Amino acid sequence: MSLRPTVDFLLHDWLNVESLQSRERFADHSRETFDAVLDTCERIAREKYAPFNRLVDTQEPHFDGEKVILPQATHEAYKAYAESGMLSAAQDYEIGGMQLPYTVEAAANAFFAMASVSIGSGMLTSGNANLLMVHGTDVQKKVFAANEFSGRFSGTMCLSEPQAGSSLSDVMTRATPDGEGFEADALGPRYRLKGNKMWISSGEHELSENIIHLVLAKIPDANGQLVPGVKGISLFIVPKKLVDTNGQLTGERNDVALAGLNHKCGWRGTTNTLLNFGEGKYPVRGDTGAIGYLVGKPGEGLRCMFHMMNEARIGVGMAATMLGMAGYYASLDYAKNRPQGRPTGAGGKDASQPQVRIIEHADIKRMLLAQKAYSEGALALALYCARLVDEQHTGTAQDADVARLLLEVLTPIVKSFPSEWCLEANSLAIQIHGGYGYTRDFPVEQYWRDNRLNMIHEGTHGIQAMDLLGRKVLMEKGRGLQLLAERMLATAAKAETAWGPEAAALRDALKQVGEATQQAWAGAEPAQALANAVPYLQAFGHTVIAWIWLDVACSAASDQSPAAQGRRAACRYFFRYELPKIGAWLNVVKSRDPTCADLPKEAF
Ligand SMILES: Cc1cc2nc3c(=O)[nH]c(=O)nc-3n(C[C@H](O)[C@H](O)[C@H](O)COP(=O)(O)OP(=O)(O)OC[C@H]3O[C@@H](n4cnc5c(N)ncnc54)[C@H](O)[C@@H]3O)c2cc1C
């Protein structure tokens, strides 16, 4: 099985990505240049990632007291990815980028996520550098971002602390001005940071010359108190090793120490760390405290960080999607080869007949179709959102604004739908393998373990749900939701002739979501409205994916190839087996059902 025909169909036949060539920024690009990028990424993923996915799972990162040791294969994959130029693919030519549309970049990165999600493709590094390109000073861009784009340095995002996960307003890392003239440092106002950061991905390793941590911390007020809430949070660049204004290492180790590695259920090829900032293990310039350079203005840290988090959320959704896809392909291959059982004929089963391959059984087909519907639907949504990112950056002012609002509403979905349903796809992939799927002799149990992370990081499922129902569908007087509804209704109109029942079902689903949104808030009590935010997120996500499938199916209308037949079947499957679930989810939202919220903790 190859992912490429699906990617090509979605990019070209469905999203018409070539149309972006009419934009000045992408004028040098063509189908050939897009294909060349996809070819390169497909090859590197095949050669440097896929063969080592099991190895990085079994040879977990370990700390020898001085260094974190990763398999040689990870070093080689990191090098090949950096050399491919993908870290700076979307950047301007002047700084060594390719000015590649984000849609193509996202599609190209999908190959790495499918081959080995935990070897990783530099999402944190390019996200970190992209943030600095927007919020950093010219010197910060040159010294830190440019060296991240080249792969010489790598990046992290340090938000979480042991006592502050979902609730970032409780961050306790402190940043105090670093002596006289702290404001005049060429790398940015210089502070000393002290605190602990938990769960930091790629927080320590030897893959790159330096690690650039982007750290959220609070600057105490005049009385030495930390300002409560997110308003007090600022953002700092904290390099593991200090650098001069040319980006050269000064030879000084910053006061950032690895306190320990977390040993995870999955995604084991990536180090995950507890980092101590400023505890004095590596005193620097005669003092304790990690040296950090302010990015943007004091108190605007979370706003700046959101730049990285939104990108990261599309990236997380894509990772979950590709794990779903990997399990689908593995179980499809297995189902085509595993003989077991006989079909039930008119007179029952005939034991004298040879066994059939399990793909002949209707229940196996159901599980394959479910995986296809979840994973390919999620991939189409991720690429649709990536196309909106390109619109936001290169469209007319009006189109860019529409794209921005659509992205606001769709970001919780592009992150959460695959995290939940492509995980379910991985569970179905295990089921298709029977007992073998539960062993480590087949890859599907690893896919499930790797995928289990995605509902937890980058905002848990519950937090995404509250963001959607509590903020995104209400913002700007519900305009984002209205714009999305307009797009869905346009698809329903287009599908009317060939897909009449599905078009009607989509309209009805949209009506139900709209009513539920209003009724959730009819009591005006946020606690009541949001008590059932997760069922709302599930119903919203299913409505979005139904829309995406109907739109995709319209593009495949006249195509009689087996691939097009499969797409139409996945669309039908989604409308018949999945979309009807939204009624149950939305009932509790509409009635603001208090069953969960009102139960006293003693009753559990
Ligand atoms: C492998 C891995 C990699 C990670 N990488 C990074 C990284 O690179 N950088 C980084 O900064 N962080 C990272 N994280 C941290 C991740 O973002 C947090 O784990 C996540 O935000 C949840 O925080 P928590 O673990 O403290 O859980 P908690 O916030 O304690 O949440 C526990 C449960 O309570 C629920 N909950 C919490 N608050 C509410 C509420 N108000 N209403 C309803 N339910 C609520 C949550 O949804 C969750 O189900 C990573 C985590 C893991 C596991």
DSSP one-letter string for 493-526: HHHTTTTHHHHHHHHHHHHHHHHHHHHHTTT--H
Q: DSSP code of 227?
A: P
Asked if 423 and 461 count as a contact pair (C-beta separation under 8 A), the reply is no
Q: Is 158 in the pocket of ligand 1 (CB under 6 A)?
A: yes
Which pLDDT belongs to residue 364? 98
Nearest residue CA, atom 50 of ligand 1?
A: 199
Which pTM was predicted?
0.97
Which pLDDT belongs to residue 93? 96
pLDDT of residue 1 exceeding 90: no
Read off the pLDDT of each residue in 381-407 and give the average, rounded to a whole number. 96
Q: Is 533 in the pocket of ligand 1 (CB under 6 A)?
A: no
Residue 528 corresponds to which tokens in the numbers above? 């009541």
Read off the pLDDT of each residue in 61-85 and give the average, rounded to a whole number. 96
Which pLDDT belongs to residue 67? 95
H or E segment and range at residue 199: strand 190-201
Nearest residue CA, atom 37 of ligand 1?
A: 166
Q: Is 157 in the pocket of ligand 1 (CB under 6 A)?
A: yes
pLDDT level of residue 399 (50, 70, 90 thresholds): very high
Q: Taking the alpha carbons of 491, 496, 498, 500 in that order, is the dihedral positive or negative?
A: positive
Q: Is 272 in the pocket of ligand 1 (CB under 6 A)?
A: yes
Q: How far apart are CA 18 and CA 266, in angstroms?
A: 37
Round to the nearest angstrom and report the end-to-end CA distance of the chain: 47
Q: Of 166, 197, 216, which is best to mutate to test ligand 1, by the most ligand atoms within 8 angstroms of its C-beta? A: 166
The length of the chain is 604
H or E segment and range at residue 473: none
pLDDT level of residue 343 (50, 70, 90 thresholds): confident
Asked if 220 and 160 count as a contact pair (C-beta separation under 8 A), the reply is no
Asked if 385 and 338 count as a contact pair (C-beta separation under 8 A), the reply is no
pLDDT level of residue 584 (50, 70, 90 thresholds): very high
Rg for the chain (alpha carbons), in Å? 25
CA dihedral 400, 401, 402, 403 (to 10 degrees): 50
Q: How far apart are CA 164 and CA 169, in angstroms?
A: 7
Read off the pLDDT of each residue in 397-411 and give the average, rounded to a whole number. 97
pLDDT of residue 308 exceeding 80: no
Condensed to tens digits (0 to 9), the pLDDT of residues 203-241 reads: 999 999 999 999 999 999 999 999 999 989 999 999 999
Q: Is 457 in the pocket of ligand 1 (CB under 6 A)?
A: yes
* Ligand 1 atom showing the smallest separation from residue 462 Cα: 47
For residue 274, the cross-strand partners are: 260
Per-residue 3-state assignment (H helix, E strand, C coil) for 13-74: HHCCHHHHHHCHHHCCCCHHHHHHHHHHHHHHHHHHHHHHHHHHHHCCCEECCCCEECCHHH
Which pLDDT belongs to residue 193? 98
pLDDT of residue 602 exceeding 80: yes
Burial track 186-222 (b if 16+ CB lie within 10 A, e otherwise): ebbbbbbbbbbbbbbbbbbbebbebbbbbbbbbbeee
H or E segment and range at residue 197: strand 190-201
Percent of all residues in the chain with a pLDDT value above 70, rounded to a whole number: 100
Nearest residue CA, atom 2 of ligand 1?
A: 199
Which pLDDT belongs to residue 307? 75
How big, in percent rounded to 5, are the helix, strand and coil portions of the chain?
Answer: 60, 15, 30
pLDDT averaged over every residue in the chain: 96
Q: How far apart are CA 539 and CA 420, in angstroms?
A: 12
Which pLDDT belongs to residue 347? 85
* Ligand 1 atom showing the smallest separation from residue 267 Cα: 1
Q: How far apart are CA 155 and CA 212, in angstroms?
A: 5
Q: Is 454 in the pocket of ligand 1 (CB under 6 A)?
A: no
Which pLDDT belongs to residue 524? 75
Residues tagged active-site: 458
Condensed to tens digits (0 to 9), the pLDDT of residues 509-567 reads: 999 999 999 999 998 789 999 999 999 999 999 999 999 999 999 997 888 999 999 99
Which pLDDT belongs to residue 149? 97
Asked if 86 and 105 count as a contact pair (C-beta separation under 8 A), the reply is yes
Which pLDDT belongs to residue 344? 86
Measured at the CA of 33, the angle between CA 29 and CA 35, to 5 degrees, comes to 135
Asked if 412 and 465 count as a contact pair (C-beta separation under 8 A), the reply is yes
Q: Is 470 in the pocket of ligand 1 (CB under 6 A)?
A: no
* Ligand 1 atom showing the smallest separation from residue 124 Cα: 8
Number of helical H runs and strand E runs in the chain? 19, 12
Measured at the CA of 27, the angle between CA 21 and CA 33, to 5 degrees, comes to 75
Q: How far apart are CA 348 and CA 267, in angstroms?
A: 46
Nearest residue CA, atom 4 of ligand 1?
A: 199
Which pLDDT belongs to residue 76? 98
Which pLDDT belongs to residue 314? 87
Condensed to tens digits (0 to 9), the pLDDT of residues 180-192 reads: 999 999 999 999 9
Asked if 200 and 277 count as a contact pair (C-beta separation under 8 A), the reply is no
Residue 474 region by backbone torsions, left for phi larger than 0, else alpha for psi between -120 and 50, else beta: alpha
Which pLDDT belongs to residue 306? 85
- Determine the distance separating the centroid of ligand 1 and the alpha carbon of 559, expressed in angstroms: 45
Read off the pLDDT of each residue in 325-341 and give the average, rounded to a whole number. 98
Residue 602 corresponds to which tokens in the numbers above? 């003693």
Which pLDDT belongs to residue 530? 97
pLDDT level of residue 274 (50, 70, 90 thresholds): very high
* Ligand 1 atom showing the smallest separation from residue 262 Cα: 1
Backbone angles phi, psi at 23, to 5 degrees: -80, 140
- Taking CA atoms, 16 is separated from 7, 21, 383, 476, 507, in Å, by 12, 10, 11, 30, 25
Backbone angles phi, psi at 92, to 5 degrees: -65, 155
Which pLDDT belongs to residue 558? 82
